[in-house]
Chain A
Amino acid sequence: MSPRAILDPTPEQTPDKRPRLRRPASLDGLVVGLLDISKPLGDVFLERVAARLEEGGAEVRRYRKPTFTKPAPVDLRQQIAVECGAVVEALAD
C-alpha cells in the first residue's frame, strides 16, 4: 500500500441508475395516484390537479403519507406502483 493513502469515509457503493419511464401517451383511462404528503395546502394543489386530470379522462386515486417528515412507507410505495400508471406528489406548502 502506498504510504500516501487514505481510508474511504463513504459506503463504497455505487447507486443504481434507472432510466425514467416513458411519459404516458394519453391520459385516457390512465390511473393516476395523487400522493398527499400531509403538508398544509397540499390538498388544495392536488384537488386542482385531480380536476384537470379527470377532465382529460384519467382515473384519479388518492394516497396520503402519515407524515411529511419521513419517506413514504414501503407498503404505500408498493401499493401506488401496483395500482397506478403515474403518480403526482404535492411536495410542500
Chain B
Amino acid sequence: MSRPALPNGLVAFVKRDCPTCELVAPVLADLAGRAGVTVYTQDDPAFPDLPEGGTRVDDTALENAYLHEVEAVPTLLRVVDGAEQERTEGWVRTDWESLTGERDLGPGLPEWRPGCGSRSVEPEAARELMVRFGSDRLKARRLPLASAEDEMEALFDRGFTDGLPVVPPTEARVLAMLEGTSRDADEVVAHVPPDGAPCTVEKIAINAVLAGCKPEYLPVVLAAVEAACTDAFNIHGLLATTMPTGPVIVVNGPIRQRIGMNAGKNVFGQGNRANLTIGRALQLVIRNMGGGRPGEIDRATFGNPGKLAFCFPEDEEGSPWEPLSEWLGRPAGEDCVTLFPGEGPRSVVDQLSRDPESLSRTFAVNLRTLHHPKLVMAFDCILAVGPEHGRVFREAGWSREQLLARLHELLLIPGSELVRGAGGIAEGLPESVASSTIPKFRPGGIHLVYCGGGAGLFSAIIGGWVGGEIGSQTVVQPIQP
C-alpha cells in the first residue's frame, strides 16, 4: 500500500480530544500565519481554528496517520519535496522551534507537555487499519464462513485442527502475526513433506495463529519449520514411521526469556503458552501444509502426546554446561532451535546418589533400556538433567564431555548380551557380533540438556528415532528476527 503524499512544508497531526493539541492550537494558528501549516485532524474536522496560510485535512478515517506511522498527537513534521525530513511528538518548545526554524513559539505555554496516543494506534482502530491497508499483502485464499456456521466447529469440519480447538486465522490476526518477523510474507521457508508444497512465511503465520501463538513466537516457529524440512532432519520419514516419535524442539538463546518460555517446573508439561503453541504450530504446518495426517501418511502405532506439541527451552542460566546449541557448534548467545526426533519423556529417579560416578551409573542403566536393552547404535537420545542432579556434576566439576565419556564407557555392551536369543529374547543383533563390544549410542548420540524444576532428584530421557544419515539427524537452526 503506497502512502498518500504529504504536502511540502510543515505538517501536523492532532485530535481535539488531546489536551496538548488544544494547548498548541494557537501555535499552529501562529505557524499558519508565518510559514504555513497543514493540519491533519483525527476526530473533529473543524479543529483547530486556522487563519489563512493554514490548511485542515480531515483524517478521521486515520489513513494518513496510519500510513505515515504517527503514534502520538500532536506530531509535527517538516516535509521537503514530498519527503519527511524531521518529526517531533508532543509539545517541546525547543524541538518545535528547531524543526520549524521559527522563534518565540507559544510564548505563554509551558516549555513542554507530552502528547496523547494517535487514534490510529488505539488497539481496535489499529487492527481495523491493519486489515484495511494491509490485507492486500496476504495472498492466501479467503474461506468464507456461512452465517449460521460456528467458526470453531468450521475449523474442525475443514480438517484444519489437531483434535483441539484452534484460533480462527482472520486477516487481522494473520497480519498481526506477521508483525512478529522481519521476513517477507512471500518468502518460501521450506517445502513441507510429505506433499512437498512450497510454504511461505504467510502460510506459517496462518498456522501459527491456528496454534495460538503470539506474534513474537513466529521467528521460532519459522526456524523450526525450516529445520524440520531439511533432508538431514527428514520429517517425512519421522512422520511416516510406525514408531512413537515426532519433532522435539529445544530452544536456546535470549529469545527464551523474551517470549516467556518455561525451562523450569513442569518443563515438558502444560501451562506455558510459548512452549506449547510453538510446538503445536510446527505440527499444524506439517498437517495442513504438508498433508501429514494421522492414519494417512502418519502411520504411528501409538504416537505420543508430544505429537500435539513438544517444545521447551534449556535452562542455560542454571546449567553446569554450555547450552546444547553451543555443543552443536553454534556461537554462544545465538537464538537457535534444535530439532530432535523424539518420543515422550521418561523419568529417571535417583534420590540417593550424591557423587557423579554413582549418578552416571544410574543414567547408564536407564539409557541401556532405551527402546530395547538389546538394540544398540540405532537410536539417539536427549538426556534432560534436572537441577538437583545437575548440582551433583557441578559440585564435582564434571564437564559435559566428562559425563559423556563416562556414559560411553558404562554403555559398552558385550555382543554376547545383544545377539538374538540372548537372555531368552529373540530380539537382538546377528550372531556375528557375539564376540564384539558395542556401545549403546553412536558417537554424539546423547544430547545433554539442562532443564526442569528445582525440587526433585530426577532426570528424564527422550528416546530418539532411527539416528544418523539413514534416519534423522539432529538439526540446529539459527532463529532469524
Contact = CB atoms under 8 A, between A and B. Distances in A.
Interface string B432-473: 000000000000000000000000000000000010011110
A92 B147 CA distance: 48
Of the candidates B149, B160, B242, the one having the most CB atoms from chain A within 10 angstroms of its own CB is B160
A11 B140 CA distance: 9
Contacts of B198: 11
Contact of B143 (A5, A13, A15, A66): A5
Contacts of A9: 140, 160, 169, 203, 206-207, 210, 284, 288-289
A38 B470 CA distance: 10
Given A11-B199, A69-B234, A6 B145 contact: yes
Given A10-B289, A13-B195, 15 more contacts: A1-B144, A4-B147, A5-B171, A6-B168, A6-B169, A7-B141, A8-B206, A9-B160, A9-B169, A10-B160, A11-B198, A11-B289, A66-B470, A69-B234, A70-B237
Given A6-B143, A7-B171, A8-B140, A69 B203 contact: no
Contacts, number: 87
Interface residues of A, number: 21
A4 B284 contact: no
A2 interface: yes
A10 B284 CA distance: 10
For chain A, what secondary structure do more than half of its interface residues adopt (helix, strand, loop), or is it mixed? Answer: loop
Contacts of A66: 470
Interface residues of B, number: 42
Interface string A14-39: 01000000000000000000000010
Contacts of B258: none
14 contacts: A1-B144, A1-B171, A5-B143, A6-B170, A7-B143, A7-B206, A8-B141, A9-B203, A9-B210, A66-B470, A67-B469, A67-B470, A69-B238, A69-B470
Given A11-B289, A70-B236, A5 B145 contact: yes
Contacts of B138: 7
B301 to A, nearest CB: 11
Interface string A35-68: 0001000000000000000000000000000111
B471 A69 contact: yes
B257 interface: no
Contacts of B470: 38, 66-69
B319 interface: no
Given A2-B144, A8-B143, A70 B234 contact: yes
Interface of A: 1-2, 4-13, 15, 38, 66-71, 92
B197 interface: yes
A48 B145 CA distance: 55
Of listed A7, A8, A10, residue having the most chain B CB within 10 A: A7
A10 B135 contact: no
Among A4, A12, A13, A15, which residue has the most Cβ atoms of chain B within 10 A? Answer: A4
B186 interface: no
A28 B67 CA distance: 74
B144 A4 contact: yes
Contacts of B242: 92
A69 B194 CA distance: 12
B289 A7 contact: no
